[in-house]
């Protein structure tokens, strides 16, 4: 049976971040491997930097060794104490592992200030150490369990290389993507969501990845006001060969509270392909028939093939009842109209305690999983239809980890669009059959 830690996810993240973003790999657990210092040192010496965690009845304390434990050699030790969501530390200084863990009956003395006596199941501390760690004046702590972890960089060279390879694979797949049955030359994806959710930033981020450098073609506003007042349809050129990519990202006025923001009727004119690029929205009324930016007879290529609802990860829990009702109503109407839609959570990197290392293993991130479940519970999206991204905002250089999230989200949108094209209603089967027939002839 696998040996697991007693640390909660929150406490593990606090410790990881406090000591420079480390991955913790469990080497020793006294309740499994025995309360004997010799066994601990056999397992934990020559393992690189290590973190020892002591679980008492009322306290969690520990020691971080900045260098590898080696027999009879001193290592720099930092003591710490975890209390709810706070961590305090005190630099013990140089200490041999034998003295720290009371091996060979090296007894505690006033110059040591801290000693872990596994055999006696207790930790002895000087009063100054206890005070500096913010603990109650109790110089002895009974040990319920003791764990020692190897500390490794969360983003080592191997993981960065893996993200770079995945980025390359995703770029290749998206560059060579063809819409289902070649029914349309480019997939149109409508970005829809509250004001300031990150719709324009997502377009800028997608464009940046394909251009090979950070760009800001679409103006970006603040979380409170947003900036998109026109309907924009953005085709993106591939920086590699200059050709247009097989998708168009469509940006619009944000959804406002109550009756503010994008008009409901305008949304369905956009879906049907009736509105031209650069149409100036009027929050008070929808576009009128006969307007110079109104398209009377749009074709399938003008229509929206996938809708991506864009939400700020940190704002979902604060949505008003009006906004929730508006989004749910829109989803019901999209379902009735046969339009596929997905959800995109932005600003994931601004969540508390989230580090770059979490972005590379996003599925294992506990607080993010709770956000996804909140989107499912409040708005009704299936978990499999929700993607997360960290948009480019203030960065100067591209990051392969961010790129993988951005490209993965885009790929999911294109898959959804293929579902829409494959499931076209009967009245469009004629178009569909002619297109598919021509494709089969070309293949033969």
Mean pLDDT, contiguous 10-residue spans, the chain (444 residues): 86 88 90 92 93 92 92 90 89 89 64 82 87 79 94 77 92 95 95 89 94 80 56 90 92 78 85 92 83 91 96 91 92 91 91 74 79 92 93 88 95 96 70 47 46
By the 8 A CB rule, do 192 and 327 touch?
no
User: What CATH number is attached to the domain comprising 304?
Assistant: 3.40.50.300
**Geometric angle at alpha carbon 107, from 26 and 151, rounded to 5°:** 20
- How confident is the model at residue 282, as a pLDDT? 82
What pLDDT was estimated at residue 6?
Answer: 93
* pTM for this entry: 0.77
Q: Tokens 């989107």 sit at which residue?
A: 375
Residue 284 falls inside a structural domain? yes
Look at residue 148 and tell me if it is in a domain. no
- Residue 137's pLDDT is 65
In a domain, 376, yes or no: yes
Please give the Cα distance from 139 to 27 (Å, whole number). 27
The pLDDT value recorded for residue 262 is 80
Helix boundaries (H) for 45-126: 97-100
| Number of CB atoms found within 10 A of residue 232's CB | 20
Is 289 inside any structural domain? yes
Q: Are 315 and 194 in contact (CB under 8 A)?
A: yes
What is the C-alpha radius of gyration for the chain, rounded to an integer number of angstroms?
28
pLDDT computed for residue 260 by the predictor = 62
Write down the pLDDT at residue 107.
59
97 found inside a domain: no
CB atoms within 10 A of CB 429: 11
Determine the structural domain holding residue 335 and report its residue range.
155-421
Q: Total structural domains in the chain?
A: 1
Structural domain contains residue 332: yes
Long-range contacts from 231-237, C-beta under 8 angstroms, 24+ separation: 231/270, 231/275, 231/276, 231/277, 231/278, 231/279, 231/281, 232/277, 232/278, 233/188, 233/277, 234/203, 234/207, 235/186, 236/206, 236/207, 236/210, 237/210, 237/211
Q: Per the domain annotation, does 377 fall within a domain? A: yes
DSSP-based three-state secondary structure for 163:
helix
Walk across the sheet containing 22-29 and list its strands.
22-29, 145-153, 50-55, 60-65, 75-83, 86-95
Cα–Cα distance measured from residue 171 to residue 302, given in angstroms and rounded to the nearest whole number: 25
Task: Please report whether residue 129 resides in a domain.
Answer: no
Neighbouring C-beta atoms of residue 337, cutoff 10 Å: 11
């Amino acid at each position: 049976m696998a040996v697991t830690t007693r640390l909660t996810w929150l406490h593990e993240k606090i410790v990881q971040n406090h000591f420079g973003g480390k991955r913790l790999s469990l080497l020793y657990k006294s309740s499994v491997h025995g309360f004997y210092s010799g066994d601990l040192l056999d397992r934990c010496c020559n393992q690189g930097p290590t973190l020892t965690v002591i679980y008492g009845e009322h306290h969690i304390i520990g020691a971080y060794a900045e260098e590898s434990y080696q027999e009879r050699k001193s290592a720099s030790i930092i003591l710490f104490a975890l209390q709810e969501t706070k961590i305090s530390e005190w630099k013990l200084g140089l200490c041999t592992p034998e003295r720290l863990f009371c091996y060979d009956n090296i007894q505690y003395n006033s110059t040591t200030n801290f000693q872990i006596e596994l055999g006696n199941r207790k930790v002895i501390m000087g009063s100054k150490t206890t005070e500096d760690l913010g603990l109650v004046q109790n110089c002895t702590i009974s040990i319920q369990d003791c764990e020692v972890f190897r500390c490794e960089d969360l983003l080592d060279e191997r993981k960065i290389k893996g993200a770079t390879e995945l980025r390359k694979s995703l770029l290749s797949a998206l560059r060579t993507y063809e819409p289902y049955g070649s029914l349309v030359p480019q997939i149109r994806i409508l970005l829809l969501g509250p004001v300031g959710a990150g719709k324009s930033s997502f377009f800028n981020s997608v464009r940046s990845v394909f251009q090979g450098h950070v760009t800001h073609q679409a103006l970006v506003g603040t979380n409170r006001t947003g900036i998109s007042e026109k309907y924009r349809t953005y085709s993106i050129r591939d920086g590699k060969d200059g050709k247009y990519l097989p998708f168009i990202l469509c940006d619009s006025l944000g959804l406002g509270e109550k009756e503010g923001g994008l008009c409901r009727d305008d949304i369905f004119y956009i879906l049907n392909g009736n509105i031209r690029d650069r149409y100036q929205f009027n929050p008070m009324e929808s576009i009128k028939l006969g307007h110079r930016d109104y398209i009377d007879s749009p074709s399938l290529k003008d229509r929206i093939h996938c809708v991506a609802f864009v939400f700020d990860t940190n704002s979902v829990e604060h949505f008003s009842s009006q906004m929730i009702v508006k989004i749910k109503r829109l989803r019901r109407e999209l379902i009735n109209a046969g339009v596929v839609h997905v959800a995109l959570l932005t600003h994931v990197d601004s969540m508390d305690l989230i580090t770059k290392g979490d972005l590379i293993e996003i599925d294992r991130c506990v607080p993010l999983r709770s956000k996804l479940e909140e989107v499912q519970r409040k708005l009704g999206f299936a978990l499999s239809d929700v993607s997360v991204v960290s948009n480019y905002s203030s960065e100067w250089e591209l990051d392969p980890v961010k790129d993988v999230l951005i490209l993965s989200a885009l790929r999911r949108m294109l898959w959804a669009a293929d579902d829409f094209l494959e499931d076209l209603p009967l009245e469009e089967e004629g178009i569909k059959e002619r297109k598919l027939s021509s494709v089969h002839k070309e293949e033969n």
